[in-house]
Amino acid sequence: MFIVIDGPDGSGKTTLAKSLTQRLCQKGFQALYTSEPTYDSEAGKAARQILRSGEVTDIYAFADLFVADRKEHLANLIKPSLLAGRWVVCDRYKYSALAYQQLQGVNPQYLIRKNQECLVPDFAFILVPQNTNILMGRIAQRGERTELFEKKEHLAATIPYYRSLKEYFPKENIWYLNADDSTEDNLGQVLGVVGVG
Ligand code: TYD
């Protein structure tokens, strides 16, 4: 089973994805947590470097880096794990591209087409916040340097794109979660939807 958890920075997706992986393991499933952009591929490293520097010279080339990283991630880790009978919980996937790269001005049809070959998850859970101040508070608490997209206006601006995902991918199994709810509440919902609650 291939499950994606996505949402804006600070929405709690990493905590939820890690808790889900842990709970699945406790229930006796073989589950692994992974995330994008990866730290493994050259494209993933290049994307992270640009995120840190905050300087994007070509938004289409930047979008292509995430797709190249995703394809390597699928080939090297996600697909082999699924074939071995494991559950894969992926923190961010192509849905981040529709939110962040579209925000930068990339045409959504370009993003959809470029990501067409990428495996469709069995379930995608999107954390959407009602209150962006909560997001900024979470990011500030981390005490890390603020990256390219981690400014409040960016965070709020990605939300409408996340809300439109069902229009971009009408055939996919996309579920929305309220990012203001607790991780435990959202975990309960996810387990219920995937049928292991
Ligand atoms: P993030 O989840 O913040 O990674 P970490 O917690 O390890 O810093 O992801 C890094 C950034 O990557 C995030 O701001 C969104 C961006 N991103 C894109 O712009 N496009 C994509 O396709 C993906 C997967 C991520």
Mean pLDDT of 46-72: 96
* Sheet of strand 174-178: strand arrangement: 31-35, 87-91, 2-6, 123-128, 174-178
- pLDDT, average across residues 60-87: 98
**pLDDT value for 88:** 99
Q: Give the dihedral sign, CA 191/183/144/164.
A: positive
Reply yes or no on whether the pLDDT at 187 is more than 90: yes
pLDDT of residue 109: 98
Percent of the chain with pLDDT over 90: 83
Atom of ligand 1 nearest to the CA of 13: 2
Q: Calculate how far, in angstroms, residue 71's C-alpha sits from the geometric centre of ligand 1.
A: 16
Reported pTM:
0.93
Unique residue bearing structure tokens 């979470």:
138
pLDDT at 131: 74
Mean pLDDT rounded to a whole number for the chain: 94
Report residue 10's pLDDT band, with 50, 70 and 90 as the boundaries: confident
Band of pLDDT at residue 155, cut at 50, 70 and 90: confident
CA–CA dist 131, 160 (Å, integer): 13
In the structure, which protein residues have their CB atom closer than 6 angstroms to any atom of ligand 1? Answer: 9, 14, 36-37, 51, 66, 92, 96-97, 100-101, 147, 149
* Other CB atoms within 10 Å distance of the CB of residue 185: 12
Distance 27 CA to ligand 1 centre (A): 29
Rounded Cα distance, 131 and 117, in Å: 34
- Model confidence band, residue 153 (pLDDT cutoffs 50, 70, 90): confident
Centre a 10 Å sphere on the Cβ of residue 12 and count the other Cβ atoms it contains. Answer: 23
Q: To the nearest whole percent, how much of the chain has pLDDT over 70?
A: 98
Of ligand 1's listed atoms, the one at least distance from the Cα of 36 is 24
138: three-class secondary structure by DSSP = helix
109-144 residue pLDDT tens: 999 999 999 999 999 999 998 877 777 777 777 776
Residue 145 confidence (pLDDT) above 80: no
Whole-number Cα distances in Å, 153 to 28, 61, 88, 136, 169: 42, 24, 32, 10, 25
Q: How far is the CA of 28 from the centre of ligand 1 (A)?
A: 30
pLDDT tops 90 at residue 48: yes
Residue 31 predicted with pLDDT over 90: yes
